[in-house]
Amino acid sequence: MAARGEDEESPLPLTLSRFQLSEEYGFLLPNPLMPQLSTRDLRGREELHLAHLVLSFLTMGYLWQEGEEGALKVLPRNLAIPFWEVSQSLGLPPILSHADFVLANWKRKRPSGPLEIENLDTIISLPGGESLRGFILVTLLVEKAAVPGIKAIVEAINALPRLDEEALHKALQQLAGAIGDMGKALRRMHDYVDPAVFYSVIRIFLSGWKDNPAMPHGLVYEGVSQEPMAFSGGSAAQSTVLHAFDELLGIRHSQESTRFLHRMRDYMPPPHRAFVEEVRRAPSLRQHLLSSGNGSLRAAFNRCVSALADFRTQHIAIVTKYISAAAAKAKAGRGEPAAGTGPPPGKPPSLLEGKGTGGSHIFRFLKSVRDTTREGMISA
């Protein structure tokens, strides 16, 4: 009969290496710096967009963590190289854009629940607390409200060669309704975003390094290029929706505004950019209506143009409240963000006070595109 314990394995000798402990550092992680991330194992559109989202937020947080006065001029290679590689794969620039900040940065709290703000959350965040969350998710709801309008673009363009005026009228009604719903969604910004937090905390993290006095020479992407590169920050002008609406309705903006808007298309995912171009090349809806004697079609078209101008007027009001008025309060010391929202150190940002995060002269640009939209009406 075997002695007790004779069949039991002998215990392993106690060594530090068995427990991933270091002779030199003990429980300390010997080299805690983030290693350079490999992009080789990323598969498919979703994984690439998620990687771009994560890397863009890390980049903005790193560069702007000390505010505009402490903006860093070099992005370390462990961020720069994978960010560049993922961006090249997606056809996007290596910076946080609308495609990251809004389009790819949401999830449902309850997977089977509705796409409503109470059931939504962001995937990744930056300083700004509930105001940042509200800013992202309200913008997301504007994009969601646009969906029937995007479908209407397809229906209208497909109806033109068939001269199907009934389908065309229905598409224009659907488009006007969608733009109106976008305006309703945009107005919810007032309920969810504190102007002081947006101006003093959030806005800096959306800023880029093109046409920005805080980073006049751009950013060096270490391991990618020895020369600085300049990219615009996240901007509503990077949303594909309004570009597509403008092209369908034949809205023509000023030369200066058109140059800026076309540059913003470089910040859209290539398939979205291609959709806008396809709409631009389609048979002209405006020309069809100008040669048509159908008064109800012209009226439906004008309702779309009017709704789009009204939406842009609402956007001007939002920018006035969240940038111009918030900047005045910050200067007067009356625009302090609430505790816990995590403002960057130092005084509130001021170098971009008159510019959008995309680098445009914000009020001149917004008023110009609103006014040229109004000019797109067709005489009855």
Q: What is the DSSP string of 153-211?
A: HHHHHHHHHHT-HHHHHHHHHHHHHHHHHHHHHHHTHHHH--HHHIIIIIGGGG--SSS
C-beta of residue 273 within 8 angstroms of C-beta of residue 242: no
Nearest 5°: the CA angle 353, 331, 62 is 55
Q: What is the distance between the alpha carbons of residues 369 and 258, in angstroms, rounded to a whole number?
A: 9
Report which secondary-structure segment, H or E, holds 344.
none
Q: What is the distance between the alpha carbons of residues 164 and 158, in angstroms, rounded to a whole number?
A: 9
In this structure, is the dihedral angle defined by the CA atoms of residues 52, 57, 60 and 62, taken in order, positive or negative? negative
Q: What is the distance between the alpha carbons of residues 213 and 40, in angstroms, rounded to a whole number?
A: 36
Q: What is the distance between the alpha carbons of residues 331 and 329, in angstroms, rounded to a whole number?
A: 5
Nearest 5°: the CA angle 326, 98, 205 is 45
Q: What is the distance between the alpha carbons of residues 364 and 372, in angstroms, rounded to a whole number?
A: 12
Return the closest-CA partner of residue 64 out of 195, 161, 257, 207.
207
Q: Which residues pair with 108 in a beta bridge?
A: 120
217 annotated binding-site participant: no
**Residue 371: how many CA atoms within 13 Å on its side-chain side?**
8
- Structure-token pair, residue 225: 């290029």
Q: Helices in 207-358 by DSSP H: which ranges?
A: 240-249, 255-264, 270-281, 285-291, 295-319, 326-331
Q: How many residues does the chain have?
A: 380
Number of H helices, E strands in the chain: 15, 4
**What spatial distance separates the first Cα and last Cα of the chain, rounded to whole Å?**
108
Annotated binding site: 315
Annotated binding site for heme b: 315
